[in-house]
Structure 1
């Protein structure tokens, strides 16, 4: 038996007349009669009784009509759902965020742009560090990830530049370096510098360390923060000062003052990483949303 038997049966069950049913299907009456006879042989019961003006359903026929109608409703829903997944209008997208990238206004703007175009797609966020996110992409545990470049060359991953923001100095409120005007990085030479382990943010870590050397000093590193966002409460508690991406200054803490860096600009870029061989409609749609925000020039600082 194939679906054609059931489709023909449902048309005849609705029309209750072989000639009208055959015309509606677009075939001659003898082939329709043959299909119904084959279906009755498969079921092992009569499905129709002949009447002078057509046919009527038997008890077996009425039962099959209900079941077949439900079968086709489910089939149509399954096909529609598969079509939506194939077009990138449904499904799940696993999105990774490297340390504190989500504080940059361009990130939620990109997420919102994607959700506007793909309202039925479920977004599953994961926060981690750049090396772990790249491993997640390679292992197919993530679909896209906002990372902090640079990264080592990897043909399995495509990295698209997204936004670039300045870095600022974070000092405890009431500290001698507290103030509103830009502050030379060299002014922090005698202070304890709070950073994070280099393994979780190689690019940012090296940028800060190199900038300190260019400013004429080697920083005195204090206790490492577990992640970028954790630096703020540590600075507020007086552990030391830090240099952070400007968007992280959106974390409001009365115990911390943020000062722009005078005389030099330190950059904290954010990029979108995807698997190089991933051409799925969902990923393509997310890349398009990110590019839309990039082209719109969304403000990327605090």
Structure 2
């Protein structure tokens, strides 16, 4: 039994007339009659009573009519679902983020617009460090991730730069340097630093160390944290100073203040990492949206 047999049968059952059903299907009446006879032979029961003018459904034909309609409706739904998934209008996508990514307005905008434009795509978010996210993308457990630059590019991964943002100096609220509106990196030479390890975020770590060395010193790192938000909290507790992405100003802690760095200010880069030769149409939509919004002024 093939789907065309079901379609032919349903057309005859709805028209109750072979000639009208054949016209509706765009085939000749004799081939349609032959197909229905083959179906009846396969099922082992007559589906129609032949009348002088048209046909009527038998009791078996009536029962088969409802089942055939249900099968064809399910096939149609499955076809639409496949087509929507192939277009990226339906399905599921999992996006990873480093701890600081959700604070940046552009990342917020990308995710919000993706949700608004592709409401039938199930969007799941997960948070981890850059190395953990890169491994998850490579393993296929997540589709893409917003990360800082990696220590090294792994084969099979694409790391695409989205945008750079200035770093700010984070100070305890009562710190004497807070009286100035802008600060030089050199002014931090004697201060204890709160940082994260290079393994957690090599790109940002290296940028901060390089900025300090250009300022003529190596930072004295006295406290380490696993996340940027934790760094802000440790600075607020008076355990040291740090440099954090400008978007972290959204963390409104009474114990921390932020100051701009004299030009040239070091930068924090945000990238999107995804698998080479990916096949997700939904991911294609996300990448296109991320590129578009990242290039906006």
TM-score interval, smaller chain = over 0.9
| Deviation of 1:263 (Å) | 4.7
Alpha-carbon spacing, 1:26–1:262, altered in 2? closer, same or farther (3 Å): closer
Contact 2:153 2:159 in 1 (8 A): no
Moved more, 115-124 or 80-89: 115-124
1:129 paired residue number = 129
**Any stretches of 5+ residues in structure 1 without a counterpart?**
298-302
Moved more, 270-279 or 112-121: 112-121
Equivalent positions of 1:149-298 (< 5 A) are 149-297=149-297
RMSD of aligned C-alpha atoms? 1.5
TM normalised by structure 2 equals 0.95
| Deviation of 1:150 (Å) | 4.8
Contact 1:93 1:121 in 2 (8 A): yes
Equivalenced residue count is: 297
| Deviation of 1:45 (Å) | 1.4
Contact 1:99 1:229 in 2 (8 A): yes
Alpha-carbon separation, structure 2, partners of 1:27 and 1:165: 66
Alpha-carbon separation, structure 1, partners of 2:42 and 2:112: 54
| Deviation of 1:262 (Å) | 2.3
Residue 34 of structure 1 aligns to a residue whose secondary structure is helix
What are the superposed Cα offsets for residues 9-58 of structure 1, whole Å, 9 maximum, x if unpaired?
Answer: 10110111122222222222222222111111222212111222221111
1:41 paired residue number = 41
Contact 2:150 2:201 in 1 (8 A): no
Contact 2:171 2:242 in 1 (8 A): yes
Contact 1:179 1:257 in 2 (8 A): no
Residue 205 of structure 1 aligns to a residue whose secondary structure is helix
**Any stretches of 5+ residues in structure 2 without a counterpart?**
none
